[in-house]
Amino acid sequence: MAEAREREELRAEYGALAQLLEDVRRRVELLNTTLAELAAAKSALEEIGSLSEGEELLVPVGAGVFVRARLASKDKVLVTLGANVMVEKTLEDTRKYLEEREQKVRDALQKSVADYQALVGRLREIEQRLRSAR
C-alpha cells in the first residue's frame, strides 16, 4: 500500500516537473533570442557610428521589408525602456545600456540552464525509482 502511494506521488511530481522543465526550456529559448537581438542592435550601432550624416541606409520594418532612409543625426538614438516609453541616448550610452542588458540576460540564461539541468537530473532520478519499484 505504501509503495503504491509512493509511486503515485512520484508520478505526480514527475508530471509537475516535466511541465516546469518545458517552461524553463521556453525561457532559455527566449533568452537566447534576446541575446541575438542585442547582438544585432550592437552591430547596427557600430554601423551607424561609421556612417556620415545624410548618408542613405536601409531600415528594416519587418517581414523582410526595408525602407530607404537618410541618417539625419547619429549623435542620438531612441531607446525603448518598456511600456511605450522611449528615451534619447548618445551612441556610447546606448552601447553601455545594451552591454548591461546583455550581461543581465546572460546571467539569467546561466541560471535557467542550471535550473534546466537540475530538473533533468531529478526527472531521471524519478524515472529510475519508478522502474525499480515495479
The domain that holds 127 is classified in CATH as 1.10.287.370
Check residue 2 and give its pLDDT.
Answer: 80
Mean pLDDT of the chain: 94
Least confident of 32-36, 38-42, 45-49: 45-49
Cβ neighbours for 70, distance < 8 A, ≥ 6 positions apart: 54, 55, 56, 57
| Grid coordinates given for 108 | 539569467
Give the pTM.
0.83
Check residue 134 and give its pLDDT.
Answer: 67
82-99 mean pLDDT: 95
Please check the confidence at residue 79 and state whether its pLDDT lies above 80: yes
Check residue 1 and give its pLDDT.
Answer: 67
In whole angstroms, how far apart are CA 98 and each of 30, 31, 107? Answer: 17, 14, 14
| Grid coordinates given for 110 | 546561466
Check residue 4 and give its pLDDT.
Answer: 86
pLDDT in tens, 56-67: 999 889 999 999
For 29, the domain range is: 2-132
Report the number of distinct structural domains present in the chain.
Answer: 1
Check residue 32 and give its pLDDT.
Answer: 98
What percent of the chain is predicted at pLDDT more than 90? 82
SS3 state of residue 96: helix
Please check the confidence at residue 76 and state whether its pLDDT lies above 80: yes
